[in-house]
Amino acid sequence: MNNWKSGRKILLGITGGIAAYKIPALVRLIKKAGCETEIILTESAKNFVAPMTLETLSGREIHSDENFDFHIPHIKLNDWADVLVIAPCTANTLAKIAHGIADNLLTSAVIAAHCPILIFPAMNEKMFENSATQENIKILLNRGVKVIAPSEGDLACGVSGKGRMNEPNEILLEIFRTLSPEKNLKNKNILITAGPTHEYIDPVRFISNPSSGKMGAAMARAAWYRGADVKIISGPVEFNSYGFEVIKVKSALEMLEAVKKNLSWADYIVKAAAVGDYRVKNFSAQKIKRAASADGQENKNNFTVELEQNPDIAAEVGKLKRENQILIGFAAETQNISENAREKLARKNLDFILANDVAAEGSGFAVDTNTLRLIPRDESKNEKIYSGLKEDIAFEIWNDVSL
Ligand SMILES: Cc1cc2nc3c(=O)[nH]c(=O)nc-3n(C[C@H](O)[C@H](O)[C@H](O)COP(=O)(O)O)c2cc1C
Residue 294 lies in a domain: no
Mean pLDDT, rounded, of the chain: 92
- Within this chain, do residues 245 and 214 fall inside the same structural domain, yes or no? yes
Count Cβ atoms below 10 Å from residue 28 Cβ, excluding itself.
13
Are 265 and 392 in the same domain?
Answer: yes
190 CA to centre of ligand 1 in angstroms: 39
Average pLDDT (54-63) is: 96
Distance CA 137, CA 131 (A): 10
322 vs 329: CA distance, rounded Å: 16
- Sequence-separated (6 or more) residues with CB below 8 Å from residue 289: none
* pLDDT at residue 260 greater than cutoff 80: yes
**Structural domain harbouring 151:** 9-179
Give the global pTM.
0.92
Residue 137 identity (one-letter amino acid): I
Are residues 157 and 201 part of one domain?
no
User: pLDDT per residue over 276-286, tens digit each?
Assistant: 999 999 999 99
Q: Which helix (H) or strand (E) holds 340?
A: helix 337-347
In 221-324 the beta strands, taken as DSSP E runs, fall at 229-234, 245-248, 268-271, 278-280, 307-309
pLDDT digits (tens, 9 = 90+) for 101-130: 999 999 999 999 999 999 999 999 999 999
Assess whether 174 and 232 both reside in one domain.
no
Q: Are residues 338 and 228 in the same domain?
A: yes
What pLDDT digit, counting tens, does each position of 232-250 carry? 999 999 999 999 999 999 9
Q: With respect to residue 77, please indicate whether it lies within any of the assigned structural domains.
A: yes
Statement to judge: residues 240 and 258 lie in one domain: yes
Encode pLDDT of 176-185 as tens digits.
999 999 999 9
Ligand 1-lining residues (CB < 6 angstroms): 15-19, 42, 44-45, 90-93, 122-123, 127
390 in the same domain as 246: yes
Nearest CA to ligand 1 atom 29: 17
Q: What pLDDT does 296 receive?
A: 62
Last residue of a domain, one of 157, 179, 201: 179
Q: Is 163 found in the same domain as 39? A: yes
Q: What percent of the chain has pLDDT over 90?
A: 77
C-alpha span between 325 and 322 (Å, rounded): 5
Instruction: Please state, in angstroms and rounded to a whole number, the distance separating the CA atoms of residues 103 and 25.
Output: 28
Residue 281 lies in a domain: no
Count CB-CB contacts under 10 A for residue 110. 25
Q: Are 166 and 248 members of one domain?
A: no
Cα(17) to centroid(ligand 1), Å: 4
Q: Which of 124, 158, 179 is the endpoint of a domain?
A: 179
Dihedral angle sign, alpha carbons of residues 381, 384, 343, 234? negative
Distance 230 CA to ligand 1 centre (A): 35
Q: Is residue 296 part of a domain?
A: no
Domains in the chain, number: 2
282 assigned to some structural domain: no
Last residue of a domain, one of 121, 150, 179: 179
- Same domain for 172 and 318? no
* Domain of residue 266, CATH code: 3.40.50.10300
166 and 197, same structural domain?
A: no
Name the residue of 12, 14, 18, 39 to mutate for ligand 1: max ligand atoms within 8 A of Cβ.
18
At residue 54, the 3 state secondary structure works out as helix
Whether residue 250 is contained in a domain is answered as yes
Judge if 130 and 255 occupy the same domain: no
